[in-house]
Amino acid sequence: MIHTHQTAPTRFVEANGIRFAYRRFGNAAGTPLVFNQHFTGTMDHWDPAVIDGLSKEREVILFNNAGVSSSSGEVPTSIEGMAANAIAFIGALGPSKVDVLGFSIGGFVAQEIAGQAPDLVRKLILVGTGPRGGEGMATLTPEAQQIFGATYEEPDHLWLAVHFTGSEASQAAGRDFLKRFRLRKENRDPEVNGKVAPAQLEALGKWGIRFGGAHDYLKSIRQAVLVVNGGNDVIVYSVNSFILQQHLPDAQLILYPDANHGSQYQYPERFVRHVSLFLSEEEAR
């Protein structure tokens, strides 16, 4: 049976004393693509249009890092700790090379995975994210604080504000995303417990502190990198995507129009095409 996001079973693997929950499905040919999720997100916060689209050509691996939802353990209060756990998880699964996609805080983790285990990572995709010590990253942005602090008639409507702009077209794309978001009916991940957000916020704060030479580590990430964001990201300001592209030795940047933090969910087909092209290209040099 060829699984999709709706049918892929949740499996478990032990590493670092943690029982990691994961789903692995798609075309087993080629290099697996490991997804690292956003703030307080679970495996069920990924857009089926994106992961099913990408799984047609490659194997997709979704997982909950330590302390998140159906995985055991505690959430580390540093991005470095989260990356170390992710590397242990990948090691327990067994692939010798992976491509790594990181979204938002998952993008910080993805950079650290490439830094800590350079031989493990073939290519890197950084979505809606930024560098250590980026612009407006020492705390949640004022816009993010307002969005996460508000109350919503429907809890899922939070994601309309987080991932999409206020325009009619973007909000319509957001409502389509929310329909896809709930497509998996059975064996959905539980929402995260109350310990997750504070630990992730502490890690975000440490990562976001600005200091001289904060971006220097990017020079050591030698992999080909695709940086993607919306042109109007108010969660991790879009300028941070440009900073990544300027400091990484081999990076290209795509900014989608009239799009906020979840640009890949506003333009899922376009995003799948761009990522597929990037991953299938031979090394340019």
- Whether the per-residue pLDDT at 284 is higher than 50: the answer is no
Among left, alpha and beta (phi > 0; psi -120 to 50; other), residue 207 is: alpha
CATH number of 11-280, picked from 3.40.50.1820, 3.40.1010.10, 3.20.20.140, 3.40.190.10: 3.40.50.1820
The pair of three-digit structure tokens given for residue 40, joined into one six-digit string? 């307080």
Q: State whether the Cα torsion 123-128-133-135 is positive or negative.
A: positive
Average pLDDT value over all residues in the chain: 95
Domain residue ranges in the chain: 11-280
For residue range 152-187, what is the model confidence (pLDDT) as tens digits? 999 999 999 999 999 999 999 999 999 999 999 999
CA dihedral 167, 169, 171, 177 (to 10 degrees): -150
Provide the pLDDT for residue 6: 87
Instruction: State pTM to two decimals.
Output: 0.96
- Whether the per-residue pLDDT at 285 is higher than 60: the answer is no
Q: State whether the Cα torsion 206-211-213-218 is positive or negative.
A: positive
Between strands 59-64 and 33-36, the pairing is parallel
The DSSP-derived string for 150-192 is S--SSGGGHHHHHHS-SSHHHHHHHHHHHHHHT---SSPPPPP
Rounded CA-CA distance 247/220 in Å is: 10
For residue range 227-250, what is the model confidence (pLDDT) as tens digits? 999 999 999 999 999 999 999 999
Phi, psi of 102 (to 5 degrees): -130, 130
For residue range 90-146, what is the model confidence (pLDDT) as tens digits? 999 999 999 999 999 999 999 999 999 999 999 999 999 999 999 999 888 999 999
| pLDDT, mean of residues 192-202 | 95
